[in-house]
């Protein structure tokens, strides 16, 4: 045993489901689906890790194993030094979980009541509860709707309520499964700011599943990417961008169709009539490129886009950079 065990230690963790499929009138065939197919990683105390991957990659299944809801089919898993499936109850008192598409709150009762129930559930003493509730209320701006029935809350308000619910017992580790999905810009900003402070000021370890590049860029110093149940990447955000060439891209519309523009250090990835797609490495100053372009060409329109995480991921799995020019329309 090491002196400082990781907050989460996963070694070759796998989970397979048996799926029955209809094959013909009455016959059914059983197939095995490897939702998580042998992942190993360690999350240390105080880290903020993004856990990414396309839909169906195995993110939620991993989280269900981390929280002890599902038992791994094989491999070994330790969270806070405990085997989650065996010591679920003990573990739940030390970690907090938010399942973004579900709620722990009771629809028909005011938010305040759900939080009271959670205090009883986690046996938080009254004084500690008062302090934490006041703190969470301030940070998450819950005050205006503490006494509103949960069913009347907006998605953003409900999510902030769920975050408070997950943190009332002061967990060491917070696991979030798509907490910003469907949130409006303001709520997203509140949630992000809150998570950032929680991690830096409180030292709460956070594992975050999201599809939102903004979340990742603002919050996660480290990302893990899972695809088809396997870890495809584990490292810093910068390294991810470097690995998959996730530079920005400049889409230029010139006055006339012509040959690819020639600019130092800039690769033209594709041309289509008057439009050209230019790869802009992170080191290159976009403003300089734009003014150089404008000097030499008659430019109709210009737009700069960041690679979004779906495309970065897609590129990563395909092992090429085709994602730059495919997928969504690149119109400004």
Partner 1 sequence: MGVYPWVAWFAFRRYTAYPLGSGAEALTNTVFGFIRASVLIALWRARPGLGGYDTADAVTFCFLTQALIGPVQVFGGMELTERIRNGDVAIDLYRPTALQGWWLADDLGRAAGSLLLRGVLPLVAGALVFPFHWPGPAGAAAFTVAVTLGVLVSFGLRYLVTLCSFWLHDGRGMDAVALVLSLFFSGMTVPLVVFPGLLGTVARGLPWAAQIQVPADVYLGKHTGTGLLGALAFQAVWAMALLAAGHVLTGMARRKLVIHGG
Ligand X SMILES: Nc1ncnc2c1ncn2[C@@H]1O[C@H](COP(=O)(O)OP(=O)(O)O)[C@@H](O)[C@H]1O
Q: How far is the CB of 177 from ligand X (least distance, A)?
A: 7
Q: Considering only residues 57, 60, 99, 161, which one is a binding residue for Mg ion as defined by CB under 5 A? A: 60
Question: Rule CB under 8 A: which residues touch partner 1?
Answer: 17, 20, 60, 64, 67-71, 88-90, 92-93, 97, 99, 101-104, 106-109, 113, 116-117, 120-123, 149, 177-178
Q: How far is the CB of 54 from Mg ion (least distance, A)?
A: 10
> Which residue, 80 or 278, is less far from partner 1 as judged by CB?
80
Task: Find tokens 């979004």 and name the residue.
Answer: 308
Q: Measured between alpha carbons, how far is 58 from 227 in angstroms, rounded to an integer?
A: 7
> Which residue, 224 or 289, is less far from partner 1 as judged by CB?
224
Please check whether residue 209 is in contact with residue 178, taking contact to mean a CB–CB distance below 8 angstroms.
yes
> Which residue, 32 or 101, is less far from partner 1 as judged by CB?
101
Task: Find tokens 């800039």 and name the residue.
Answer: 266
Segment contacting ligand X by CB under 6 A, of 52-60, 168-176, 248-256, 306-314: 52-60
> Which residue, 34 or 172, is less far from ligand X as judged by CB?
34
Query: Residues near 142 by Cβ (< 8 Å), separated by ≥ 6?
Result: 111, 136, 157, 160, 161, 164
Which long-range contacts (C-beta less than 8 Å, at least 24 apart) are formed by 292-296? Answer: 292/263, 293/252, 293/261, 293/263, 296/261
Segment contacting Mg ion by CB under 5 A, of 59-67, 131-139, 160-168, 238-246: 59-67
Q: How far is the CB of 237 from partner 1 (least distance, A)?
A: 24
Q: How far is the CB of 257 from partner 1 (least distance, A)?
A: 46
Task: Find tokens 């910003």 and name the residue.
Answer: 180
Q: What are the helix (H) ranges across the chain? A: 59-66, 88-92, 111-121, 126-139, 155-167, 185-202, 213-219, 237-244, 286-296, 309-318
52: β partners:
225
Interface with Mg ion (CB under 5 A):
59-60
């Amino acid at each position: 045993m090491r002196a400082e065990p990781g907050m989460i230690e996963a070694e070759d963790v796998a989970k397979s489901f048996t799926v029955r499929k209809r094959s013909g009138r009455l016959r059914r065939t059983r197939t095995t689906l490897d939702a998580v197919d042998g992942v190993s990683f360690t999350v240390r105390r105080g880290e903020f890790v993004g856990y990414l991957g396309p839909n169906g990659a195995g993110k939620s299944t991993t989280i269900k194993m981390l929280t002890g809801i599902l038992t791994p089919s094989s491999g070994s898993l330790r969270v806070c030094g405990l085997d989650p499936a065996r010591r679920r109850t003990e573990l739940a008192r030390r970690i907090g979980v938010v399942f973004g598409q579900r709620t722990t709150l009771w629809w028909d009762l005011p938010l305040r009541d759900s939080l009271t129930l959670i205090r009883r559930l986690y046996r938080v003493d009254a004084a500690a509860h008062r302090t934490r509730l006041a703190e969470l209320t301030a940070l998450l701006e819950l005050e205006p709707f503490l006494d509103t029935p949960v069913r009347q809350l907006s998605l953003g308000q409900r999510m902030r309520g769920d975050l408070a619910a997950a943190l009332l017992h002061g967990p060491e580790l917070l696991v979030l499964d798509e907490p910003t999905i469907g949130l409006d810009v303001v709520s997203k900003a509140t949630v992000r700011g809150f998570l950032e402070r929680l991690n830096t000021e409180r030292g709460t370890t956070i594992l975050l599943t999201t599809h939102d590049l903004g979340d990742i860029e603002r919050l996660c110093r480290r990302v893990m990417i899972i695809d088809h149940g396997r870890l495809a990447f584990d490292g810093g955000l910068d390294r991810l961008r470097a690995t998959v060439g996730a530079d920005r891209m400049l889409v230029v519309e010139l006055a006339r169709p012509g040959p690819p523009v020639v600019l130092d250090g800039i690769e033209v990835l594709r041309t289509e009539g008057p439009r050209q797609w230019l790869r802009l490495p992170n080191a290159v100053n976009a403003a300089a490129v734009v003014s150089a372009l404008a000097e030499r060409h008659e430019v109709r329109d210009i737009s700069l886009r960041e690679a979004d995480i779906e495309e970065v991921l897609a590129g990563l799995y395909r092992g090429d950079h085709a994602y730059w020019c495919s997928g969504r329309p690149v119109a400004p």
